Amino acid sequence: MADFLPSRSYLSVCFPNCLLTSGEAEQLRKSKEIDKCINRDKTYVKRLVKILLLGAGESGKSTFLKQMRIIHGKDFDQKAKEEFRGTIFSNVIKGIRVLVDAREKLHIPWGDQSNQRHGNTMMAFDTRSAMTQGHGMVEPKVFHHYVPSIRSLWADQGIQNAYDRRREFQLGESVKYFLDNLERLAQSDYLPSQQDILLARKPTKGIHEYDFEIKNVPFKMVDVGGQRSERRRWFECFDSVTSILFLVSSSEYDQVLMEDRQTNRLSESLNIFETIVNNRVFSNVSIILFLNKTDLLEEKVKQVSIKDYFSEFSGDPTSLADVQRFLVECFRKKRREQQQKPLYHHFTTAINTENIRLVFRDVKDTILHDNLKQLMLQ
């Protein structure tokens, strides 16, 4: 009779859960759940749009990332605002120290000789002392102590004359904005506005990511430091990149790098771009050029001729449109001739939320269209 009974192996095939112990059933349930999660993760990764922000230092990458948080995420909380406040205070103190130092080196006389005392006070400030928080942030009580000196110095004609010659030394672009708003910053209950946060300057160290969704499509935006010392980290982010947004500070054609104080900043951006755009790793990656800081470029062309730095320029150096056309062509020429992939470009002002909102809407459509084509080929 036993010969006619179905074997355990036969039953396990026909009725897979019937002969399992409670422990085995639980293991099977967990295994199926894990498989389901793996498949879900695979689908997510396949749909994920990974955007890499590349470009030289101070091109606006971190500001662009802040804009993505403002536009597609949530507002900055109290803790984040307090951290940005410390960074802004540091920007102000560093900026006024740079101006005091530049005034002396450029042999510009004081407007009011008594401000020498305030200048000495600021130059004696120890940025590495226990008075500053970690990561280069200045505490409010420390900042408030120096406000009277900062106020007197910024009002001095000698400091203003030094500021007018700022292209001859390294000064943060947002320094004037914060010094002009010193009384607001000096309020005891001050917390940074959205615009303050966008203008706060802190060099990016390491890799910063921001995840968000647009119409159920997951995006991951990755910001890597642009200073020369940070670029070795770029290769850590190249895996599974959907698109590269390459940012250029279009107004810096007359300025040199902070790292060596010799290399033209625009030339540096062109060299980096040439390396990226011709890298075979990115043969199927859409590369979008952001010629950033249009607001500053518009002012710069009225004051400094691009022809003095790029002799091949043949247009009207005071025409914003002519200079922008020239810049786009400079970057186009860096691509190898055999490449047929289009180079998309946009003129941007990263501190202008509405401008970035409109530009990224177009960029998003371009990226999703190109990504869909790649998925169909897989």
Least confident of 16-25, 145-154, 258-267, 326-335: 16-25
Distance CA 142, CA 303 (A): 37
What is the arrangement of strands in the sheet containing 217-224, beginning at the earlier edge strand?
A: 207-214, 217-224, 49-54, 243-249, 286-292, 344-347
Q: Chain-wide mean pLDDT for the chain?
A: 85
* End-to-end alpha carbon distance in the chain: 56
Write out the two tokens for 326. Answer: 């020239």
Instruction: Write a three-state SS string for 295-336.
Output: HHHHHHHHHCCHHHCCCCCCCCCCCHHHHHHHHHHHHHCCCC
Catalytic positions, written as ranges: 58, 63, 201, 223, 227
Write out the two tokens for 237. Answer: 């982010």
Please write the tens of the pLDDT for every residue from 265-323.
Answer: 999 999 999 999 988 888 888 899 999 999 999 999 999 999 999 999 999 999 999 99
Confidence of residue 195 (pLDDT cuts 50, 70, 90): very high
Binding-site residues from annotation = 58-63, 198-204, 223-227, 292-295, 350
Q: Where in the chain is the domain with CATH 3.40.50.300?
A: 51-75+207-372
Binding-site residues from annotation for GTP = 58-63, 198-204, 223-227, 292-295, 350
Of 109, 96, 101, 98, whose CA–CA distance to 148 is shortest? 96
Question: What was the pLDDT predicted at 204?
Answer: 73
> Pairing relation of β-strands 217-224 and 49-54?
parallel
Q: Give 264's strand partners.
A: 256
Give the Å distances, CA to CA, from 322 to 69, 185, 295, 310, 329.
33, 39, 15, 13, 11
| Residue 7: φ, ψ to 5° | -75, 165
Residue 182 has pLDDT above 90, yes or no: yes
Q: Which one-letter DSSP state was computed for residue 49?
A: E
- Please give the helix or strand (H or E) that residue 363 lies within, else none: helix 353-377
Write out the two tokens for 255. Answer: 């300025």
Write out the two tokens for 152. Answer: 């007197």
CATH top class, domain 51-75+207-372:
alpha beta
| Residue 247: φ, ψ to 5° | -100, 140
Q: Where in the chain is the domain with CATH 1.10.400.10?
A: 78-199
Please write the tens of the pLDDT for every residue from 20-75.
Answer: 677 777 777 776 666 555 545 444 445 799 999 999 888 999 999 999 999 987 78
Task: Quote the pTM value.
Answer: 0.80
The SS3 assignment for 219 reads strand
Q: Give the amino acid at 208.
A: H
**How many whole angstroms from its chain centre is CA 52?**
10
The SS3 assignment for 347 reads strand
Q: Does domain 78-199 have CATH number 1.10.760.10?
A: no
